[in-house]
Amino acid sequence: MFNYNDGGREDAGYKGKTRDCTVRAMAIALKLPYKQCYEELAQANKEAGGKKSVRGGVTIKVFEAVLNKHGWYWEAAPKFRSRKARARDTYGTVIARQARHVVAVRKGIVQDVFNSSGKMVYGIWRKKQK
C-alpha cells in the first residue's frame, strides 16, 4: 500500500527533482519540518567530509548517525521462509531501508512520492521506546 507524501518539501519551497529520500523519510517519520531535516542532514554530511547539500543523497552512515541523535535505532528486517520482507511487514512508524532508497512507513503503508511498497526491505530504523 502507498500514500503520496512529500514530507513537506513543496510547502518548504523546494522545487524540482532531487535524491532527497532521506530528508522526506526523516521529516515524515519523526514529524519534523522538511527544512529542519534538510539542514540537519546537510550539516552532518558536511562534517563527514561530503558536500553541504543532500540533493545528491547522503550515505547511510551519515543518515543513521542523525537518526541515532533523535533516539532511533536500526533493526534487521523480519525473516520469512518463502519471501523477502516488504514494507507491509513493519508495524508502527518506521524508516525502511531498501535498495538505494529509504522510505517512511506508517502501519505498513509507504509514505513517499512514489510507490516502493513492492521493494525488499533490508531493515528498519525505529524510535526507542521510553
Burial class (CB in 10 A: 0-12, 13-18, 19+), 8: buried
∠ CA 72-8-98, rounded to 5°: 50
User: Residue 96: its pLDDT value, please?
Assistant: 98
Count the domains in the chain.
1
User: Residue 41: its pLDDT value, please?
Assistant: 96
User: Residue 52: its pLDDT value, please?
Assistant: 77
User: Residue 110: its pLDDT value, please?
Assistant: 98
Q: C-alpha cell of 123?
A: 531493515
pTM: 0.94
Contact 41, 63 (CB under 8 A): yes
Residues pairing with 110 in the sheet: 2, 105
User: Residue 63: its pLDDT value, please?
Assistant: 97
pLDDT (tens, 9 = 90+) of the chain, 130 residues, equals 999 999 999 999 988 888 899 999 999 999 999 999 999 999 999 999 887 788 888 999 999 999 999 999 999 998 888 899 999 999 999 999 999 999 999 999 999 999 999 999 999 999 998 7
User: Residue 20: its pLDDT value, please?
Assistant: 92
Q: C-alpha cell of 18?
A: 532531487
User: Residue 43: its pLDDT value, please?
Assistant: 95
Contact 91, 107 (CB under 8 A): yes
Amino acid sitting at position 124: I
37 backbone dihedrals φ, ψ, rounded to 5°: -65, -40
| Torsion from C-alpha of 8, 85, 44, 29, nearest 10 degrees | 30
Contact 85, 109 (CB under 8 A): no
User: Structural domain of residue 44, as residue ranges?
Assistant: 2-127
